[in-house]
Amino acid sequence: MPEPTTAQPLADLSTEELARFRDEQQAAYDGLRDQGLKLDLTRGKPSTAQLDLSDRLLTLPDGTRDDDGVDVRNYGGLAGIRQIREMFADLLWVEPEQVVAGGNSSLVLMREVITDLWLKGGVDSERPWSQEERVTFICPVPGYDRHFTLLSWFGIDTVTVPMNEDGPDADAVADLVAKDPSIKGMWVVPTYSNPTGSIVSQEIAARLASMETAAPDFKILWDNAYAFHHLTEEEAKSADILTLAAASGHPHRAIMFASTSKITYAGAGVAFLAGSTETVAWYTGHLGKGAIGPDKVNQLRHVQFFGSPQGVRDHMRKHRGLIAPKFAVVEEVLSDRLGGLGVARWTRPSGGYFVSLDVLPGTAARVIGLAKDAGVALTPAGAAFPGGHDPDDTNIRLAPTFPELPEVRAAMEAVATCVLLAAAEHLVAAS
Ligand code: PLP
C-alpha cells in the first residue's frame, strides 16, 4: 500500500469544504461522461502483443515424435509427454512423476479434482465427499471468483479468511480446520495471487502444510496460475508445498495447478496438475474413464518452443516488458490522484495480473456503477468474494494487462474520478 503523500485527508475537511470538493468531482465526472469513453479493465487476459510473443508455436512442432519416439499425433500418454512434465516439474520444484500435463485449462483440472473428490473421495478419504453431511471450504479473500463459483456449483459451503500480503491468515485457518471436520479444503493462489498479488511465505506454507485438521482428507488446492509472472527483477519463488506437506506427514494434502495460459496462448496452452504419486495415480485413474490421452501435439510444440525451463523464464521476461509499464501507469495515476486523501488503498504487485483497490467502505459498488455510466467497465462489485458479496463493499479488482497503455491511463484517470466522487458523496452524507 502506498505511503500517504502530503495531501489532506478528505475526512479532515469541513462540511463546506467537503461539499465544494464533491461539486468539483461531480463536474469532473460530468466531463468524463461527455467523453463517451469505451474502456474495459475487467479482463485478466493477455493482450494481443503478449499473444504475438508465442506465434512461433503456429509453425511447430517440428516433426511428430517426442524424444521417446512417441508419435504425438496418436492416442495415449494420459499423463502427458515426458519432456513437458520434466520441464514444468523443474519449474514447479516437483518431481516429473508428480506431474500430469493435460489440456489447455488448469481450471478444468480443478473442476475434475473436485468432481473426483465428490464422487469417489480422495486417496485419504473415508468416503466420497458427496456422502458427507456437509462440505466446507476455506476461501482466502479477496480471491478468484471462479474458485468460488465452482464451490457453489457443488453446494460446498464457504468460510472466508483474510488474504494477507504473506498469504492466508494462518491462525484463522488453523483454528477453523482444527475443530470442524466438515472443512475439507481451501484455495490458495500462492504466487502473485488474484487479485491482491500476495506471495505466500515459506512460513505460512509450512503452517498450512503441517496444521492439524479435523478432516483426515483435508486438501489444499494450490492454484499456482501466476508462478512465473514476475513484474520486477526480484522473481518470487513459490513455496514448495508438496515437499512441506509430505515432510509433515500429509503427503496427499496439497494438489498443485498451473498452466501456460498466460505464458503462451490463453486458449491453447498446456495445464498441469501436481501431487503425490498416489494423487497422480488417483487422478489419472479417473481421467482414463473419459480420455485416451491429451493433445500431445500441443505439448510437443510447447517443449520445442521453450527448449528448456530457462526458456520459459526468458519468455516471461518478454511478457514483463509489455505489461510492467501498464502496472506502472496504474500506480502512477492512483498515487497522483488518490494518495494521501484517505479514501483508497491499493496493492503494488510484483507479479501477476491484478491490482486490488480498496475504496472507502460502502462505496465500491457506487464507484463501479459510476464508472460503468461513464463507459469504463470494472469487475462487478463483490466479485472477489464467495457469493459475490463483499461485506464491506470496499474491494475493486483492476486488470490492466489487456488494454493498450493509453487506454489503461484513460481508464485509471476515470476510475480515480469515480473513487473521489463516491467518497465525497459518502462523506457529505455522513457529515
Ligand atoms: N487460476 C487463477 C487464480 C486465475 O486467475 C486464472 C485465470 O484468470 C485461472 C486459474 C485460469 O487458468 P487456466 O487458463 O489455466 O484455466
Binned average pLDDT, 10 residues per bin, the chain of 431 residues:
62 94 97 95 95 98 96 98 98 96 98 98 98 98 98 98 98 98 98 98 98 98 98 94 97 98 98 98 98 98 98 98 98 98 98 98 98 97 97 98 97 98 96 86
- CA 256/CA 113 separation, integer angstroms: 11
Ligand 1 site, residue 273, Cβ cutoff 6 A? no
Question: What does the buried/exposed string (b/e) look like for 26-37 if buried means 16 or more CB atoms within 10 Å of the residue's CB?
Answer: eebbeebeeeeb
DSSP strand pairing (344-346 vs 254-259): unpaired
Please check whether residue 141 is in contact with residue 385, taking contact to mean a CB–CB distance below 8 angstroms.
yes
Residue 180 domain flag: yes
Does residue 61 have a cis bond before it (omega within 30 degrees)? yes
Q: Are residues 42 and 185 in the same domain?
A: no
**pLDDT value, residue 7:** 81
| Amino acid 6: pLDDT | 55
State which of 250, 272, 307 marks the end of a domain.
307
Q: How far is the centre of ligand 1, averaged over its atoms, from the C-alpha of 134 (Å)?
A: 27
Question: Contact 385/160 with Cβ under 8 angstroms?
Answer: yes
- 248 shares a domain with 106: yes
Question: Is residue 414 located within the same domain as residue 321?
Answer: yes
Nearest Cα residue to 105 out of 294, 239, 238: 294
Give a yes or no: residue 60 inside a domain: no
Give the distance (Å) from ligand 1 centre to CA of residue 36: 32
The enclosing domain of 272 has a CATH number of 3.40.640.10
Q: Which of 275, 307, 339 corresponds to the end of one domain?
A: 307
Does ligand 1 lie within 6 Å of residue 144's CB atom?
A: yes
Query: Considering 307, 342, 370, which residue would you say is the last residue of a domain?
Result: 307
**Which atom of ligand 1 is closest in space to residue 261's alpha carbon?**
14
**263 in the same domain as 211:** yes
Looking at residue 3, what is its pLDDT? 40
Structural domain total, the chain? 2
The verdict on the CB of residue 210 being under 6 Å from ligand 1 is no
The CA-based angle 87-88-94, given to 5 degrees, is 110
Phi first, then psi: give them for residue 249, nearest 5 degrees. Answer: 85, 15
What is the predicted pLDDT for the residue at 4?
40
Q: Residue 62: inside a domain, yes or no?
A: no
User: Which of 112, 145, 194, 222 is the pocket-test mutation for ligand 1 (most atoms within 8 Å of CB)?
Assistant: 194
Residue nearest to atom 5 of ligand 1 (CA): 194
Is 198 found in the same domain as 175?
yes
Residue 67 lies in a domain: no
Which amino acid, 315?
Answer: H
Same domain, 116 and 132: yes
DSSP 72: T
> Do residues 216 and 295 both lie within one domain?
yes
Q: In 3D, which of 216, 221, 205, 223 has the Cα closest to residue 168?
A: 205
Distance CA 48, CA 50 (A): 5
The cell for 172 is 484463522
142 prior amide bond cis, ω within 30:
yes
Phi-psi region for residue 69, left (φ > 0), alpha (ψ -120 to 50) or beta?
left
* Angle at which helices 405-430 and 15-34 cross, to 10°: 150
106 lines ligand 1 (CB under 6 A): yes
Q: Quick one: cell of 78?
A: 494420459
| Ligand 1 in reach of 271 Cβ (< 6 A) | yes
CATH number at residue 38: 3.90.1150.10
- Does the Cβ of 265 fall within 6 Å of ligand 1? no
Tell me, yes or no, whether 196 and 120 share the same domain. yes
pTM (predicted TM-score): 0.97
Atom 2 of ligand 1 has which residue's CA nearest to it? 225
Kind of pairing between the strands at 254-259 and 219-223: parallel
Same domain for 280 and 214: yes
State the Cα–Cα distance between residues 406 and 426, nearest whole angstrom. 30
Query: Is residue 4 one of the residues assigned to a domain?
Result: no
Our answer on whether the CB atom of 220 is closer than 6 Å to any ligand 1 atom is: no
- To 10 degrees, the CA torsion angle through 398, 334, 405, 394? 10
Kindly state whether residues 333 and 280 are assigned to the same domain. Answer: no
In the sheet where 136-141 sits, what is the strand order? 99-101, 271-274, 254-259, 219-223, 183-188, 136-141, 157-164, 167-168
CA of 106 to the centre of ligand 1 (A): 7
Say which residues have a Cβ less than 8 Å from residue 304's Cβ, sequence separation at least 6: 60, 61, 62
Whether 385 and 333 share a structural domain: yes
At position 132, the amino acid (one-letter code) is E
Residue 37 domain flag: yes
> Does 1 fall in a domain?
no
Name the residue with the closest Cα to ligand 1, atom 8: 44
Question: Containing domain of residue 110, as a range?
Answer: 74-307
Pocket test for ligand 1, best of 222, 223, 238, 270 (most atoms within 8 A of CB): 223
Residue 133 burial (10 A CB sphere; 0-12, 13-18, 19+): exposed
CA atoms within 13 A on the CB side of 153: 12
What does the block give as the cell for 25?
A: 468531482
What's the 43 CA to ligand 1 centre distance in angstroms? Answer: 12
Residue 65 lies in a domain: no
CA distances from 260 to 195, 252, 302, 360, 373 (A): 19, 24, 9, 36, 35
Residues 265 and 403 placed together within one structural domain of the fold? no
Q: Per the structure block, which three cell numbers stand in for 302?
A: 510447447
Cβ of 259 below 6 Å from ligand 1: yes
From the CB of 379, is ligand 1 less than 6 Å away? Answer: no
189 lines ligand 1 (CB under 6 A): yes
